[in-house]
Structure 1
Amino acid sequence: MSEPTPAQIADELKSKRPIVLSARPALAEPAAAPDADEEWPLPGGTAWVYYGKGHKQLVKPFITADGFNSGPSKLGELWEYLEGGAYRFISRLRERGYDVIIVGFDERSASILDNSRVAREAIMRAIAQRTGDAPLKVGGFSMGGLVTRHALAKMESEHIDHQTDLYFSYDSPHRGAWIPIALQAFAHYIRDLDSRFSDQINSPAAQQLLWRHIPEWDSTPEQSQQRTAFLQEMERIGEWPMRPRKIAVANGVGTGAGNGINPSDLAVEGKGLSVSGTKLYTQASGSKELVAKLRVVTLKTNEVRTSGLPAIDGAPGGTLEGFGILADGLNELNPWLGFKTDVPIRSHCFVPAVSAVDIRDVATDQDLYAPIDDMSPGDSRLDDFKLASQNEGHTLVTEELCSWIIERLG
């Protein structure tokens, strides 16, 4: 049998589900969510409303916004995520009389500033439809925490009464998120075969979220101009909403203990003929550190090296199976195409704990691995926060973290 052509490889890649990074794996058939009591079409998104126990209308609004991914928010996936695990977060909220409003976006990889307008519309509609004067609780998971943080702060800067007394975020990257440069480089390296992975890395939301970004496989990692503009916008509106009490939870520990991933370890290795020679490594600090060897179809192997970055893959924080998602996607291809891949390390730190609780930047090992438990809580701009008892999956819904949030709703 002859070797596959680039056109055949491209056709096969495009026929499969895209390789995109998400804390929630794409479900071929998401569980059907129960019918919402109300569905609000919003400019740029949708909100689904589930009344609290004993309610027949909106009384105590609890608004939670979706996080980063590619494409539109899907209610079935959101419901499975929030309700399908060991701790049923929506049910617990409704049992306490909160009317849960789930805010989704037409495009989750659009600019945070665009999706902030969706959250703002949901807040205004909740105020308009609410019976009584119970204050709103507003926040979100991952990027959703930044979307709602911006929405509330911008409303305050414009002297608009958001009537919110509590803001929450769930493993949100307040000081930046991290995708290994090796993964970003591979995404761009295969762009001519299938651009969807590269498109996600280069999307507005990804560039605004990522602490360091590369637009091409051989680019120097740096802060994206879109992130710079986003940070300037946050500074312009005061960084944080001032009126609500601000709380956050992190899926990483506060002890400073890493997740067990060592720097410079082999994470992904190409074994098939089309990717033989490809090797992706975990990030190491230092100068001219090798993070990737890239070879896809062509004979030449290219190297990617970095300088001045910390050993962030192993830092305490919420983890993402980025290496595993890539390997699984390649291994789903027809074996004849030669994309067989081994994945010795599936996960990496995605949202460092210090970022999720806004207490340190993520530029150095000293900050990333700092014992938050020993710091003054006043170092954070949050009023209160909770760290997980172990480093676990980014935005994993747990009783430990969700019950802590519920206890602080008042």
Structure 2
Amino acid sequence: MALEPRIDVETRSEDFEASLTTEQITRIAEAFGQQGVWFATPQEQAGEARRPDEVWNLVGDQPHHGQTATGRAAVHLAEGHRALTRPLILADGFNYGPSDLDGLWRHFNKPYQQGVPGFLDQLRTMGIDVVLLGFEQRQAAIQANAAVAVTCVLRTIEERQGDDPLVVGGVSMGGLVTRYALARMEDESIDHQTDKYFSYDTPHLGAWIPLVLQQLAYIHEALSPRSDGPGQAELIRSPAAQQLLWGWVGSADYSGPVTTNPLRAEFVEDLRRLGWFPRRPYKLGLANGTGNGTGPDLPPGTPVFDLRHDALQLTARIQPDLGELENIGVLRVGAPAWTSATSYVAAFDGAPGGTLDSWGRLADAVGLPIEERFRSSCFVPSASAVAMNRNPFQWQSELYVDLSDLPKDETYLDAFCCDAANSEHGTVSRPLIEWFLEQLAGW
């Protein structure tokens, strides 16, 4: 029987904070430096965004726990089309606040090869209409935003001319939102008329943000609270983060299991009740990580940054590989010290997968030099993006598995493609786009 992954904190952060002088608190807050919501990804600003042919305001078809989510969709008709004919819905992913549909267009239409049109322009040339789906609160519960996706699917069917089936999916969390929406429609006998479902670096088994960085976000928020907006840990404490992350901590002081999150458990149970995946569509998956079992060069337990100035120490380490009470972080101004350690947590940071530059952003904010290889770590492991047939709470032993010869019954997808290198989460790469376009060519 596998031992339960957990985290243990020595000296509560409240006690640590109470021991500090005003000057010491200021020094630590300045050392952290970064303001705003931690881990939120900046919107894509480079390049031109095509003006949509139509924009829909959408309201979820049903509430979730009393919350009715809203969103918008930008419709980009294929060349020569005057109305939706062959629609592909691409849902936005995990982030804080409302979707930027212009930014989503710029991101996915960014040229990935000189002389080759962007991905979305290629779709339009192929006669495929692109519907970009966004959400007013991307950090809301997946079930709530899935209701917006249901409305978008129904609106697309209503507006479509002819009877060509839909292609529906999304990037990152958007793949989970649309997966849930289609499964729910099938469970409720609503005809979604979708022939293909796709997920683009979607954490089907869970995503990863280093536990020590989650804790430091809470500590910084307490030491440097904001009065003009959300705190640094707002994205981490959001419903979507709790549902997406394999390991999650709710405060800097929490000691206990890291995979027994009630919101995640509820979401997984809801998916199981709906059949886990939609049954009708042919299911495609794209992973920004490699499939050969090789991840980025991040030795477990290595200090990423180690700030020491007078009596101040701020240390954070790459996630160790299993072990018991393995240190991941220290924050000290004289004494007492806040320390954090994990037990039975695998080396997620260095796993093959789509990466996120969480370490680099924090190091830049602190003003410390950082080795280039340490800037980014795994965010969506490849094993998660290809939806391996595993328990979503107990699959860390598969992090470094070779997926190149994965048996058919080992994944819930009908076909998948891994990237040639461990690229940035959600990035548009030539191997993935060319494979995806081939899958759509006969549609």
Pairing partner for 1:242 from 243, 268, 279: 279
Say whether residues 1:112 and 2:172 are aligned partners: no
Aligned to 1:302: 338
Aligned to 1:94: 124
Q: Deviations over 1:79-101 (max 9, x none)?
A: 22111242511111111011100
Tell me the CA shift for residue 12 of structure 1: 12
1:210-221 counterparts in 2 under 5 A? Answer: 210-219=245-254, 220=256, 221=258
Say whether residues 1:293 and 2:330 are aligned partners: yes
Does the Cα contact within 8 Å between 2:120 and 2:130 map onto a contact in 1? yes
Aligned to 2:315: 279
Say whether residues 1:186 and 2:202 are aligned partners: no
Tell me the CA shift for residue 32 of structure 1: 5.4
Aligned to 2:421: 390
CA change 1:32–1:6 in 2 (3 A) is: farther
Structure 2: state its 5+ residue gaps.
1-21, 60-69
Three-state SS of the structure 1 residue aligned to 2:203 is coil
CA change 1:53–1:222 in 2 (3 A) is: same
Aligned to 1:337: none
2:334 & 2:178 partners in 1: Cα distance?
45
Amino acid at match of 2:233: S
CA change 1:93–1:166 in 2 (3 A) is: same
2:160 & 2:298 partners in 1: Cα distance?
48
Aligned to 1:336: none
| Superposition CA RMSD, Å | 2.5
Aligned to 2:10: none
Say whether residues 1:41 and 2:78 are aligned partners: no
Pairing partner for 2:407 from 361, 364, 376: 376
Three-state SS of the structure 2 residue aligned to 1:269 is strand
Amino acid at match of 1:312: F
Does the Cα contact within 8 Å between 1:143 and 1:172 map onto a contact in 2? yes
Dislocated runs of 4+, deviation >6 Å:
7-14
Structure 1: state its 5+ residue gaps.
332-339
Amino acid at match of 2:378: C
Pairing partner for 2:356 from 312, 315, 320: 320
CA change 1:9–1:183 in 2 (3 A) is: closer
Pairing partner for 1:21 from 29, 35, 39: 39
Q: Deviations over 1:215-247 (max 9, x none)?
A: 011323233110000001001111110000001
Aligned to 2:381: 352
CA change 1:13–1:108 in 2 (3 A) is: farther
CA change 1:25–1:115 in 2 (3 A) is: same
1:30 & 1:375 partners in 2: Cα distance?
38
Tell me the CA shift for residue 294 of structure 1: 2.3
Tell me the CA shift for residue 301 of structure 1: 2.6
Pairing partner for 2:194 from 161, 164, 168: 164
Amino acid at match of 1:266: P
Q: TM-score, normalised by structure 1?
A: 0.90
Aligned to 1:55: 81
Does the Cα contact within 8 Å between 1:31 and 1:77 map onto a contact in 2? no
Say whether residues 1:131 and 2:161 are aligned partners: yes
2:188 & 2:54 partners in 1: Cα distance?
29
Q: TM-score, normalised by structure 2?
A: 0.83
2:293 & 2:381 partners in 1: Cα distance?
10
Does the Cα contact within 8 Å between 1:116 and 1:148 map onto a contact in 2? yes
Tell me the CA shift for residue 31 of structure 1: 5.2
1:101 & 1:400 partners in 2: Cα distance?
23
Does the Cα contact within 8 Å between 2:419 and 2:429 map onto a contact in 1? no
CA change 1:34–1:80 in 2 (3 A) is: same
Three-state SS of the structure 1 residue aligned to 2:206 is coil
Share of identical aligned residues, percent?
39
Does the Cα contact within 8 Å between 2:328 and 2:341 map onto a contact in 1? yes
Which one has more relative contact order, counting CA pairs under 8 Å at least 6 apart? Answer: 2
2:262 & 2:340 partners in 1: Cα distance?
22
2:279 & 2:238 partners in 1: Cα distance?
30
Q: Deviations over 1:336-390 (max 9, x none)?
A: xxxx334342111111111100115474664111111132132111111111122
Tell me the CA shift for residue 288 of structure 1: 0.3
1:199-278 counterparts in 2 under 5 A? Answer: 199-219=234-254, 220=256, 221-270=258-307, 276-278=312-314
CA change 1:35–1:319 in 2 (3 A) is: same
2:57 & 2:385 partners in 1: Cα distance?
30
Tell me the CA shift for residue 6 of structure 1: 5.0
Tell me the CA shift for residue 326 of structure 1: 1.9
Tell me the CA shift for residue 189 of structure 1: 1.1
Does the Cα contact within 8 Å between 1:269 and 1:343 map onto a contact in 2? no
Amino acid at match of 2:426: T
Q: Deviations over 1:32-62 (max 9, x none)?
A: 5222100001121000000001111111100
Amino acid at match of 2:259: E
Tell me the CA shift for residue 25 of structure 1: 3.1
